Amino acid sequence: MKNQACDSSVIKVPQLERIPFLQHGFGDLVWGEKDLRKLADRLDFKLLFLKQVHSDVVHFIDEVPERRLRGDAAATRLPGLLLVIKTADCLPVVLVEEKKRVIAAVHCGWKGTSQRVLEKVVLGMKEGYGADPAAILAAFGPCIGGACYEVGEDVRRAFSDSDFPASLFRPITGRSGKYHFDLRSANRLQLLKLSVKAKNIFSLGICTHCDPKYPSYRRDRDATGRMLSFIGLT
């Protein structure tokens, strides 16, 4: 399902945009850190970047950290803090539980996804902040699509070892040990398993590899930039 409203170089999801105390967005290739800092200054937000390492490490932020934290997800109830994720083909996910005023931002690459990082975020929001998974809204930003994401046997094996269904992988004809992998569906399954409602999961449906407006490491390798995704409580 595509749910999007465009505002210059930042895409917002209408179902999240209607929440009066929430700021969120998914930037494109030209919307950089300088633009994000201008937005944060205008809205009186502090920025929280992570040292992303393709892990399942989640930080639950109850006070503003003095240094950049190593990990791939952050959740908080603190107002005035923008949680930021950098991606270039990986899936950025932002979450909100409106009643409890809990938010999260998650970097879902294949490694973190195979370790169920998104599942760990939702469980942490529930256990640490009293969030109800059935009330959580989740927005999936632009990422590489299943028709473009070619992976090898090591990736397929990692997901098999974590009990993901084999249907996430489609063998590539004529290329032994090569598969097309559906990253979005792998993360969607984690949410559904924890009782997040299907109607509350919104995907922009943009493939970063196909759309030149977005950075793609698979397409441009070391020449690529990074897209910035963010969420914060006012």
CATH number of the CATH domain containing 79: 3.60.140.10
Domain assignment of residue 199, yes or no: yes
DSSP state of 184: H
Report d(CA 179, CA 148) in Å as an integer: 10
pLDDT of residue 133: 98
Query: Looking at the domain assignment, is residue 168 inside a domain?
Result: no
- Work out the pLDDT band at 147, boundaries 50, 70, 90: very high
At 149, is the pLDDT very low, low, confident or very high (cuts 50, 70, 90)?
very high
| Residue-range definition of the domain harbouring residue 136 | 5-145+185-233
Whose structure tokens read 């963010």? 230
**Confidence tier at 223 by pLDDT (50, 70, 90):** confident
Q: How far is CA 76 from the centre of its chain?
A: 15
Is position 228 within any domain?
A: yes
Helices (H), 130-196: 153-161, 183-193
Name the domain count of the chain.
1
Residue 54 inside a domain? The answer is: yes
Q: What is the pLDDT of residue 7?
A: 55
For 27-95, give the DSSP string: E-TT--HHHHHHHHHHHT-EEEEEE--SS--EEEESS--SSPEESSEEEE--BTEEEEEEESSSEEEEE
Residue 211 pairs in a beta bridge with: none
Q: What is the pLDDT of residue 150?
A: 97
Q: What is the mean pLDDT of residues 127-156?
A: 98
166 lies in some domain: no
Residue 5 has pLDDT above 60, yes or no: no
Does any domain span residue 163? no
State in Å, rounded, how far the first CA of the chain is from the last one. Answer: 28
Task: Tell whether 213 is covered by a domain.
Answer: yes
Is position 49 within any domain?
Answer: yes
Averaged pLDDT for residues 36-52: 97
Q: Which of 2-6, 22-26, 164-168, 230-234 has the lowest mean pLDDT?
A: 2-6
Dihedral of alpha carbons 73, 85, 119, 121, sign: positive
Distance CA 173, CA 153 (A): 14
**What are 179-209's pLDDT values in tens digits?**
999 999 999 999 999 999 999 999 999 999 9
- The answer on pLDDT for 163 being more than 90 is yes
Residue 8: predicted pLDDT: 73
